[in-house]
Structure 1
């Protein structure tokens, strides 16, 4: 028996991409695809067509034309002149890539691009996306509707901005693992799909970065749900299969000698993954990669992360001097200072800064982690 839900999730975005490529606006195309999927669910049962993809494309296109024809006689003439001739072969791969670029259109805000990508390309329901982002379904529906309205006049006739697409996929990955759909898994799936259509080194770099981060996921949380920092994680719980795959993908990308920021971030993650214990981390090489990353993407966040590496290579006082050059509004700024002050032996300042950092944490898990760090340092002070 065919799993129609899984089949529709796979085919729906591809069919939507075909209709967009043929000239349908995004909102109308999605409506037509949804109607075709409903009809397929009603008619297929246990006996799916020999070519389900072609059946859905044909049905969705006909439904789109029916809507177009009903609008006005002028529009009917336009259909006869421009839409009814054979639109050519359907390949699937190019259409999906087109759809991904359209969902990540520069006219959309990052949050809208993320939602639309998950809805249109990922094939997730609005309820699933809302659950993952912990917002009401009605709120997510409005966000997606606004995004589709924004794109109603847009056509993608040339390759889109790959950098924008990669940033949207990375945003999806970093949203975490709440809700019934694992957004990290979904981001990896979409990035694999993108790499098969656009074998660019930066796409490979992003996929490698995701896999290397994902490999550490089993050790990132304690049994009671507490956040575990990288330096004290149980590395025997890391997924060596994902690490090996990520490193292999990264090495292939680096061999093309077209360095980009995601490749550099993946190289840093690979060095962390390569250390059997935290004390054996190759911090000098990590610092070299951060220097490269600062050339490619000189942001305050990168500069703060580089300061941590400086503290490991040249000592905590040098790290604190590097942090002083970073705006204190950057997330984790206070927490990094606390860590470096503790390493420098200034426990009173470290305790105070951990407490301050916990009050401005971005999540409950981070707040609890920093609170525990403050308590730990407080105990060290009393023992001293």
Structure 2
């Protein structure tokens, strides 16, 4: 981006990094392009990490970012501090950037990085808090902050002492951060009140509500899976992505059994064949169905695609326990 005039004001955003995110998320670019470019220029993610977030190859993501830069130059898109009136049009991009930065911190996709990066999760929450203070009436801003807080509450239980990823059903819930859970639940209730007044919830608000259900259960067995599934049904209507459908299938498995879930998962293969979580989820369902040979092949595919050492460790353990 370029502009011959000097920057005379920081506008309505005091924080340098958050301001840069809004500057980079220019509505002249397609949403995916502006998010990818902002993640690279401001978010501090590598091209490989961004590619994993979008489920594309590193080379494809590199070309996408290059094209976005070229469009900015060719169109003369100005590098200007956005006004208060500009913020709503750029908000979707900024929210996506913050969500993906936090996700990369919560579970790194780079095999050479530590599995959990507290620097990224902490920064994501810091920026989300600032954004919430700036735009408190925006439901998706509140939803994203609540989602981050409820996820962050579980971060210290995410990886075991020996470096293995700990799934939700094996985490020590006594070690979850109750202060973050309390704050996250308060924000979710705030959004539920607005939704009851006929507002339509967006993606981050629904994800936060799912997080609230999980963090409300004292034990994994106490999870209200019918409520989780109902929320995923809402999420599919808002965001019909294959990853959302995969996560919905996990709730189906808990509620209706692995046979019902595997039928859903198998329909996603063409769209998620390069996604390790698809193969890992399928492997676990096949194991529960007693189809150990098929489960073994699925675990091996997941291990081949796994993003970090913690994921690889748990997949290897699950593979070893097959007879």
Normalised to the residue count of structure 1, the TM-score between the two structures is 0.65
Q: Please report how far the alpha carbon of residue 181 of structure 1 lies from its aligned counterpart in structure 2 after TM superposition.
A: 7.3
2:163–2:313 CA contact under 8 A, matched in 1? no
The 8 Å contact of residues 22 and 90 in structure 2, kept in 1 or not, is answered as yes
Q: Is the 8 A contact 1:358 1:367 kept in 2?
A: yes
Change (3 A) 1:320 1:150: same
Aligned to 2:77: 153
Match of 2:23 among 102, 119, 123: 102
Measured against aligned partners, the alpha-carbon deviations of 1:8-51 in whole angstroms (never above 9, x if no partner) come to xxxxxxxxxxxxxxxxx86778xx8xxxxxxxxxxxxxxxxxxx
Q: Distance in 1 between matches of 2:120 and 2:16?
A: 23
| 1:109–1:240 CA distance, 2 compared to 1 (3 A) | same
Residue-by-residue CA offset, 1:251-299 (whole Å, 9 max, x unaligned): 1122111311101111111111111111111111100000000111111
- Could you tell me whether the CA contact under 8 Å between 1:97 and 1:197 is conserved in 2? no
Distance 2:18 2:297 in 1: 50
* C-alpha RMSD of the superposition: 3.3
CA contact (8 A) 1:110 1:168 kept: yes
Equivalent residue, structure 2, for 1:187:
124
Aligned CA distance change for structure 1 residues 373 and 98 (closer, same or farther; 3 Å): same
CA positional deviation for 1:364: 3.0
Decide which of 244, 261, 270 is 2:203's aligned counterpart: 261
Partner Cα separation in structure 2 for residue 95 and residue 286 of structure 1: 38
Gapped regions of structure 2 (runs ≥ 5): 50-64, 107-112
* Equivalent residue number for residue 54 of structure 2: none
Output one character per residue of 1:230-262: Cα deviation in whole Å (capped at 9) or x when no partner. Answer: 111111111111111111111112211131110
| Counterpart pick for 1:234 among 169, 172, 179 | 172
Secondary structure at 1:255 match in 2: helix
How many angstroms apart in 1 are the aligned matches of 2:166 and 2:139?
Answer: 32
Distance 2:268 2:299 in 1: 18
State the match for 1:219 in structure 2.
157
1:90 & 1:102 partners in 2: Cα distance? 11
Q: Distance in 2 between matches of 1:291 and 1:92?
A: 36
- Equivalent residue, structure 2, for 1:371: 316
Bigger relative CO (Cα 8 Å, ≥ 6 apart)? 2
1:123 — aligned with what? none
Q: What does 1:199-210 correspond to in 2, within 5 Å?
A: 199=136, 200-210=138-148
**How far apart in 1 are the matches of 2:15 and 2:317?**
50
Stretches of structure 1 lacking an aligned partner (at least 5 in a row): 1-24, 33-59, 62-86, 120-128, 134-142
Q: Corresponding residue for 1:113?
A: 38
Moved more, 89-98 or 242-251: 89-98
How many pairs are equivalent? 281
Residues in 2 aligned to 1:225 and 1:168: alpha-carbon distance in whole angstroms:
28
Corresponding position of 1:49: none
Does the aligned pair in 2 maintain the 1:114–1:168 contact within 8 Å?
Answer: yes
Tell me the TM-score normalized by structure 2.
Answer: 0.76
Correspondence for 1:352: 297
CA contact (8 A) 2:225 2:251 kept: yes
